[in-house]
Amino acid sequence: MILIVDMNCKKNSLGFYEFVLPVVEVAKKLDKCRILHYLDLTSKDLSECDKIILSGTALKDTATLSQPEKFQWLKETDKSVLGICAGMETIGMVFGAPLCKCVEIGMTPITTVKENPLFSGDYKAYSLHNFCVQTPETFEVWAKSEKCIQSIKHKDKRIYGVLFHPEVRNQEIIKRFIAS
Partner 1 sequence: MRLGVLFSGGKDSTLALQYAADKEEVACLITLLSKNKESYMFHTPNIDVSALQAEALGLPQIKKTTMGEKEKELSDLEDAIAQAAKEYQIEGVVTGAIESVYQAERVQRICYGLGLWCFNPLWKHDQKKLLEEILEKQFTTIISGIFAYPLDETWLGKQIDTKLIELLVDLQQKYSISPSGEGGEIETTVLDAPIFKKKIEILNSTIEAKWNSGVFNIKQARLVSK
Q: Among residues 26 and 93, whose Cβ is nearest to partner 1?
A: 26
**Three-class SS state of 11:** coil
User: Is 165 an annotated catalytic residue?
Assistant: yes
Which has the closest alpha carbon to 85: 52, 121, 127? 127
Least distance CB 131 / partner 1 (angstroms): 13
Task: Return residues touching partner 1 (CB under 8 A).
Answer: 12-15, 17-18, 21-22, 25, 58-61, 103, 105-107, 126, 128, 167-169
* Catalytic one of 9, 49, 85, 148: 85
Least distance CB 3 / partner 1 (angstroms): 20
Q: Among residues 104 and 159, whose Cβ is nearest to partner 1?
A: 104
Q: Among residues 21 and 36, whose Cβ is nearest to partner 1?
A: 21
Least distance CB 109 / partner 1 (angstroms): 14
Least distance CB 86 / partner 1 (angstroms): 14
Residue 72: φ, ψ to 5°: -65, -20
Q: Among residues 4 and 91, whose Cβ is nearest to partner 1?
A: 4
Whole-angstrom distance, CA of residue 169 vs CA of residue 57: 17
Helix ranges (H only) for the chain are 15-19, 21-27, 43-48, 73-76, 86-94, 166-169, 171-179
Whole-angstrom distance, CA of residue 66 vs CA of residue 6: 16
Residues facing 82 on adjacent strands: 53, 160
User: Is 129 an annotated catalytic residue?
Assistant: no
CA atoms within 13 A on the CB side of 76: 9
User: Is 25 an annotated catalytic residue?
Assistant: no
Instruction: List active site positions.
Output: 85, 165, 167
